[in-house]
Chain A
Amino acid sequence: MTERTPLFVNMTSPVQLFGTLTPVLVALLLVIIANLPISFTGGLLPAPALALAAIYFWALNRPRLMPPFAVLVIGFAEDLLSGGPPGLWATGFLAAYILIDRQRKTFIELTGVGTLIAFTGAMLLAGGAAYLLASAIYLRFVPLPPLLLETILTVLLYPLLDRPLHWADRSITRLLHSTG
C-alpha cells in the first residue's frame, strides 16, 4: 500500500482533522491499553510496546499521518504512563522510525512473515536504543531479559493488531474521500 490520497488539501473541516489525527490517536490509545496498570501475569511478563505497531504501520504506509513529531509525542506518552524515565521510549520509537523511513521501499513490498520480520527489526532497534540510553542514564548495563521478553510479546501481538490497523486505515481513507 502506498500514499493514495492527497490528504492535506483543504483540511478545514473537523472531520478531516479527525481523520488526519486518527493514526496518532490510535497509537495513543495503544499506549494507554499497554500501560493499563493491571497485570494478568502477576508482573512476570512486561507490558508490550503496542504503540510501535501503529507507528510502524502508518510510518510505512502513510508517513504524512505519522511524522517524527507525532512519534516523539507518542514516545513521551509511553514514558509518562509506564512510569519510567522520560525520553527512553521516545528515543526508541524514533530510532525505529528512522529504520522504517530508510527502508520504506523494501518494507512496503513485504507481506506475511516478511512484514513480521521487518517489524521485529523495528522493535529490536527501538528496544536497543532505549536499552543503550537507559544504560547510559543509570551508568550500568540494565538487565536485558525483561526487554527481550517485551520484544517477543510485542512481535507476537503484531499480527493481531495488523487487521484492526488496516481497518482503521480504510476508515480514514473513506472519511477523507467523503469530505473532499
Chain B
Amino acid sequence: MAGSGWKWARGRGTKQLPLILCLIIAVATAVAGRTQAAIFDHARAALSDWTAPALNGLKAPLTAVQNWTAGVGSMFTVYSENTELKRENAELQKWQQVALSLEDRLRSYQQLLNALPDEKTPFITARVIGESSRPFVKTMILNAGSTEQVAKGQAVVNERGLLGRIYVTGENTSWVILLTDLNSRVPVVIEPSHRRALVIGDNTPSPQLELDVGDGPVQSGDRVLTTGDGGLLPPDVPVGLVSGNGEGARVALFASPSNADAVNILDYRVPDLPQAAEPLSAATGQKTASAKPAAPATPPAPPVPRVAPRAPDTADIPEELDR
C-alpha cells in the first residue's frame, strides 16, 4: 500500500504537487504552532513520559563519561585552579562574617519593626534527565511532572540561581524553558539601582537585558534578581550579573544548565491580600500591635519541601534559595 502511495507521489503528471503540499503543511504547522502550542506540548510531554525510564538509565553512564572527559582537561590546570580556589575561599570567609553580622542586624530590625517574615516557598527537588541545545531551542527535561504537582510557569533553580521555568508538564516529566531560550522573558530588578528590566533569551549563553522602568544607573557587575512581577516567579532569586552597558547590556548568568544535575522547582504562590485595610498608628505610620492580622482558626502548616520520589538522593536546598 505504502508503495503505491509513494508511486503516486512521484507520478509524472503530479510530480511537484506532493512536494508543494508537504511544504504548505510544514509552514502552516509552524505558524499554527505559535497559537496552538498546547497540541505539540502534549505530544512532547507524552513522549518524554514514555522515554523517561530509558533517559534515566542512559543519563548516569553518560554523565560519568562526561565528567571523566571534563576531568581529563582540568588535570592540566589543577594547580592554578587550586591556588585560585584557596584565594577565593579566604575572601569568601571574610564575606561570610560580614553576611552573618548583617543577618543578625536585619533580624533585630525586623523584630523592632514588627515586620512580617518572608514566607518560605515550597519546592520539589527533581533530577535533570535530559537537555537539548539546538539553534532554536534550549531546554531541559526533569523527572518530576504533574504527579508531583509540578505546574507550568514554576521557577526552576539550582544552588547558584534561576535556570528557567517549566513550560510543559507530563505525568512524570516536565520540560524547562531555559533563560537562554528564544522564548524566555523574565522580569528582573537590578541592584543596587532598583532598575526594572527584562531578561530576554536569544539562544546565546548571556541573554539580553532590556531596561524597562526607572532611570537609575546600570553598570557592569550589578546584580540581577527576579522581581516576582506577574506572580509566577518568586522575588529575589539570583539571576546573574550585568555585563556591558546601555542598550547592549547582557546578563552573565549565575546558574549554568550544563552542570545542573539536581534542581529545585519552586511552587511559588502570591501571598493572599489582606481582607480589609489595617489601621495605622497616627504618630508613626507603623502597624499597631492590635492591627496585626487575626490569627486563623487553624494555624497554617509550615512549608515542607516535597521531594520527587525518583530523586531521593539529592542534596538539601541551600538556605539562600529557600525563600
Q: What is the interface of chain A, defined by CB distance below 8 A to chain B?
A: 7-8, 11, 17, 20-21, 35-40, 42-47, 63-65, 67-72, 75-76, 79-88, 90-91, 94-95, 97-98, 101, 127, 130-131, 133-134, 137-138, 142-143, 145-147, 149-150
Give Cα A149 to B5, complex, Å.
Answer: 37
Q: Are B133 and A86 in contact (CB under 8 A)?
A: no
Within the complex, which residue of A21, A38, A75 is in contact with B62, where a contact is CB–CB below 8 Å? A38
Give Cα A64 to B6, complex, Å.
Answer: 7
CB distance from A98 to the nearest CB of B (A): 7
Q: Are B182 and A69 in contact (CB under 8 A)?
A: no
Give Cα A95 to B30, complex, Å.
Answer: 14
Chain A residues whose C-beta falls within 8 Å of the C-beta of B136 in the assembled complex = 82, 84-85, 88, 130, 134, 142
Q: Are B130 and A37 in contact (CB under 8 A)?
A: yes
Q: Are B44 and A83 in contact (CB under 8 A)?
A: yes
Q: Are B28 and A143 in contact (CB under 8 A)?
A: no
Given contacts A43-B131, A143-B204, 10 further A-B contacts (CB under 8 A): A37-B130, A37-B132, A39-B131, A43-B133, A64-B6, A82-B134, A83-B139, A86-B32, A86-B40, A146-B204
Known: A42-B259, A47-B134, A88-B30. Is A72-B69 also a contact (CB below 8 A)? Answer: no
CB distance from B317 to the nearest CB of A (A): 23
Q: Interface SS of chain B: helix, strand, loop or mixed?
A: helix
Give Cα A79 to B27, complex, Å.
Answer: 13
CB distance from B296 to the nearest CB of A (A): 43
Q: Are B131 and A68 in contact (CB under 8 A)?
A: no
Q: Are B30 and A137 in contact (CB under 8 A)?
A: yes
Interface residue total, chain B, C-beta cutoff 8 A: 59
Chain A residues whose C-beta falls within 8 Å of the C-beta of B134 in the assembled complex = 46-47, 82-84, 146, 150
Q: Are A83 and B137 in contact (CB under 8 A)?
A: yes
Give Cα A35 to B175, complex, Å.
Answer: 14
- List 7 contacting pairs A-B, 8 Å CB cutoff, sorted by A: A68-B23, A79-B40, A82-B134, A85-B34, A85-B137, A94-B26, A142-B203
CB distance from B185 to the nearest CB of A (A): 12
CB distance from A133 to the nearest CB of B (A): 5
Give Cα A57 to B9, complex, Å.
Answer: 19
Residue of A nearest to B168 (CB): A83
Residue of B nearest to A37 (CB): B130
Chain A residues whose C-beta falls within 8 Å of the C-beta of B18 in the assembled complex = 67-69
Chain A residues whose C-beta falls within 8 Å of the C-beta of B47 in the assembled complex = 80-81
Give Cα A142 to B201, complex, Å.
Answer: 10
List B90-137 residues whose CB lies under 8 Å from chain A: 129-137
Q: Are A37 and B131 in contact (CB under 8 A)?
A: yes
Chain B residues whose C-beta falls within 8 Å of the C-beta of A8 in the assembled complex = 3-4, 6-7
Chain A residues whose C-beta falls within 8 Å of the C-beta of B204 in the assembled complex = 143, 145-146
Known: A37-B129, A68-B9, A98-B19. Is A43-B257 also a contact (CB below 8 A)? Answer: yes
Give Cα A138 to B129, complex, Å.
Answer: 28
Within the complex, which residue of B22, B66, B257 is in contact with A40, where a contact is CB–CB below 8 Å? B66
Give Cα A64 to B197, complex, Å.
Answer: 54
Q: Nearest 10 A-B pairs (CB), nearest first?
A: A37-B130, A87-B30, A42-B258, A87-B29, A8-B3, A90-B26, A84-B137, A147-B135, A146-B135, A86-B33
Chain A residues whose C-beta falls within 8 Å of the C-beta of B175 in the assembled complex = 83
Q: Are A7 and B133 in contact (CB under 8 A)?
A: no
